[in-house]
Amino acid sequence: MKYKNLGRSGLSVSRLCLGTMNFGPETDEVTSGAIMDSALENGVNFFDTANRYGGIGHWGRTEEIVGRWFQKGGGRREKVVLATKLYGEMDAWPNNSGVSALNIRRACDASLKRMQTDYIDLYQMHHIDRKTPWDEVWLAMEVLVAQGKILYVGSSNFGGWHLAQAQAAAAPRHFTGLVSEQSIYNLVVRDIEREVIPAAQHYGIGILPWSPLNGGLLGGVLKKERNGSRRLEGRSKEALESIRPRIEDYENFCEKIGKEPGDVALAWLLAQPAVTAPIVGPRTQEQFDAALRALELELTQDHLETLDKIFPRFKVSPEDYAW
């Protein structure tokens, strides 16, 4: 396993991050535990979850599954760099969503209880909260750091200017601010290349891509469609039809170099300088094992240039498109 510092921090994390969103809704607890055990056996020390994971009506269930797995001992908690998130509404009562100082305190304590641990390594804001001033956010986070309940702070789904706002507010407080940003990023969805990635690199914020296979569209969907192992419906089918020629070119390229499409998609992300660790969210052990293969695949410069032709890169704002 290869490791990389999370942003400008001294925290060393594996190049793959185990996402747990399917634990509970899609994957039973026994299988979830086996996947987490396999992750540690293969050197994956970075786990990501959120207080809202668990399925409708079962918010928090995923954190509880992680917590019961920690309680099995064997150094499980000590070996894991644990990341979770807050923002989403946990119930309809006021102040139980967003990142107000009150909700930051309550949500953190609730996550600690569910995961049966006394600290969170990376506490992430799941979305920007336009109603809460940054001084309030950082005051609450500083208290949690001082109490030893969290070590680092990250963001998710932020814009480039949100990263700049956050760091500008943290600097005069002599607070670290953000060390990571979790965004949708893959060969198909490359929007963050415009401003989020340049801002993240400027401020030393590591990028944690979610949906690295874009909902499975980069995982050999056409081949699976032909052999009858996968049938797309609704929005997934519409998404495929809108880019079918590019997906065809992509799968033909993967076949030409003798690699699985899902492996190539992950390897491409691992080759991006701003990326710390793609987040893989397996439903099965087989899916997790497949993700590990990508770590052994190194794409050549010619491969990367071909992929950029199939899925064009965004130009950086505003210099490129302005001139």
- Residues with a known catalytic role: 53
Exposure on the CB side of residue 186, measured as CA atoms within 13 A: 22
Nearest to residue 123, comparing CAs of 68, 177, 43? 177
Alpha carbons 244 and 256: distance in angstroms, whole number: 18
Question: Are residues 93 and 83 in contact, defined by beta-carbon separation less than 8 angstroms?
Answer: no
Question: Are residues 121 and 11 in contact, defined by beta-carbon separation less than 8 angstroms?
Answer: yes
> Where do we find the tokens 């700049």?
164
Nearest to residue 180, comparing CAs of 98, 274, 316? 274
Alpha carbons 287 and 91: distance in angstroms, whole number: 33
Which is it for strands 3-5 and 12-14: parallel, antiparallel or unpaired?
antiparallel
Letter for the amino acid at 126?
A: H
Tokens at 155, concatenated: 């963001």
Say whether 316 sits in a helix, a strand or coil: coil
Alpha carbons 204 and 32: distance in angstroms, whole number: 33
Question: Are residues 181 and 196 in contact, defined by beta-carbon separation less than 8 angstroms?
Answer: yes
Element (H, E) at 14: strand 12-14
**How many C-beta atoms surround the C-beta of residue 189 within 10 A?**
15
Report DSSP letters for 186-218, one per residue: SSS--GGGTTHHHHHHHHT-EEEEE-TTTTTTT
